[in-house]
Amino acid sequence: MKSVSARVVIVGAGPSGLRAATELAPKLPGEVLVLDRESVAGGVPRHCDHPGYGIRDLGRFLTGPGYAQRLVHTAVNAGARIQTNAMVTGWADESTLEVTTPQGRRRVRGEAIILATGARERPRSARWVPGDRAAGVFTTAELQQQVHLERLPVGSRAVVVGAELVSWSAAMTLRQAGVRTVAMVTHYPKPDAYAVFSGPGRVMFATSVLTSSRVTRVVGRGRVSGVEVLNEQTGARRLIECDTVVFTGDWIPDHELARAAGIELDEKTLGPRVDSTLRTMREGVFAAGNVVHPVDTADIAALDGAHVAASVLSYLGGDTRSAAGAPIVATGPIRWVAPSLLRPGAAAPSRGKLLMWVDEYRALPRLVATQDGQVIGSAKLAWPASPGRVFRAPWSVLAKADPSGGEVRLSLG
């Protein structure tokens, strides 16, 4: 088996991996190698053919494919090497990856390794939605690939399961395919997405958003003919006729490589546990983007890539701090928090923000941090905490936390 080495190996050629490569390649002697299992680099944005990409990281308003192409070209021009059709299947040792390519199997060693494998939506089967096994059931990614990459027909009437940002992305893709979205269904009492999306979206797509509701059955033999929807407040059930169902949201990190390496996972995010510099619990292995916190927008994932690049440079320069630290734990309506480890001397996270996901809507939340039974910080925030999108809070709320103390617990007051 052929063996190769690189200064830094990045697994995943999406926004976080490409941005990390762009930052690292000009600053390091030796190769920065990006491996991706797809035949074309760029990650999920390359098959999201609608605008809204690049706002925070590039100061642009681009389509998904345009954004992906720009990230790829910038990384290559910076000196990074991108190898597509390269499936990383496991680890030969703590710093060597096993890779399968059309040219054969390889072992690729890196002085530092960045996991930037992203996240995926759970399909219908993982959500335990019963009914007929009919054609016409998709996740958002499957839908976008069929419409934008394979140019295949979809249907005529769709129900979208979910009402968060990605759900409206699915509705846009359906519209481009000539499919009407007749309903969006969310179990939350209000739409998950920002009002700027959900309000105009209902008018633009001529759709209704069914809150406090869930799809309980898919109907149709051969092809979907409808879905049964339960209103959880009234107990009423109704059948909505459709030939397409798109399951959106409900994200899980693509964490298989981290698990295979024995890297500690955060029990709430299910991604690798990282500190504020995006170091994992294994020496020389880092993680960035939506593999850490599923799921944020592409431009935030790219900014994560820039942040992890600075951490990798510090590590290669000799900064090998201890893996010890205080866990940061989400409680109450907060489902998860990232980063989830407070290490001594670690810099603030990307953009100086704690990232969280909540299961209850709070209009003007107060975030409270406690450690060893004492309140160590709090912040009254002027923006809502809402299910279906990342909730951000200032890292300064943990300014008095002791990395050598007990777990730091975050709650909403």
Q: Which residues contact 93 (CB under 8 A, 6 or more apart)?
A: none
For 96-172, where are the E strands, in sequence order? Answer: 96-101, 104-115, 119-121, 137-139, 157-161
Tokens of 390: 């990342």
List the domain boundaries for the chain.
Answer: 1-121+250-320, 123-249, 324-413
Q: At what angle do helices 15-24 and 298-316 cross, to 10 degrees?
A: 40
Topology annotation, domain 123-249: FAD/NAD(P)-binding domain (3.50.50)
DSSP state of 337: E
Neighbours of 264 (CB within 10 A): 17
Contact 356, 391 (CB under 8 A): yes
Between strands 157-161 and 244-247, the pairing is: parallel
- Quickly list H helices, 35-164: 55-58, 64-78, 140-144
pLDDT in tens, 73-88: 999 999 999 999 999 9
Residue 66 burial class via C-beta count within 10 angstroms: exposed 0-12, middle 13-18, buried 19 and up: middle
**Three-state SS at 67:** helix
- Show Cβ contacts of residue 34 under 8 Å, excluding neighbours closer than 6 positions: 10, 12, 13, 17, 18, 21, 41, 75, 80, 81, 82, 83
pLDDT value for 193: 52
Q: Report the alpha-carbon angle 62-156-46, nearest 5.
A: 25
Please indicate whether the domains covering 1-121+250-320 and 123-249 agree at the CATH topology level. Answer: yes
**The predicted structure's pLDDT at residue 270:** 95
Q: DSSP letters along 20-36, please?
A: HHHHHGGGSSS-EEEE-
Sign of the CA dihedral with 108 first, then 117, 14, and 355 last: negative
Pick the CATH number of 1-121+250-320 from 3.50.50.60, 3.90.1150.10, 3.90.550.10, 3.40.50.970: 3.50.50.60
- Could you give the CA distance from residue 383 to residue 8 in angstroms, rounded to a whole number? 39
Q: What is the largest CA-CA distance in the chain?
A: 65
At 388 the pLDDT is 85
pLDDT of residue 191: 73
Query: Within the chain, which residues score under 50 in pLDDT?
Result: none
pLDDT of residue 195: 55
Q: How far apart are CA 220 and CA 226, in angstroms?
A: 7
What's the length of the chain?
413
- Summarize pLDDT for 30-39 with one digit per residue, the tens: 999 999 999 9
Residue 73: Cβ within 10 Å count: 12
3-state helix, strand, coil in the chain (%, to 5): 25, 35, 40
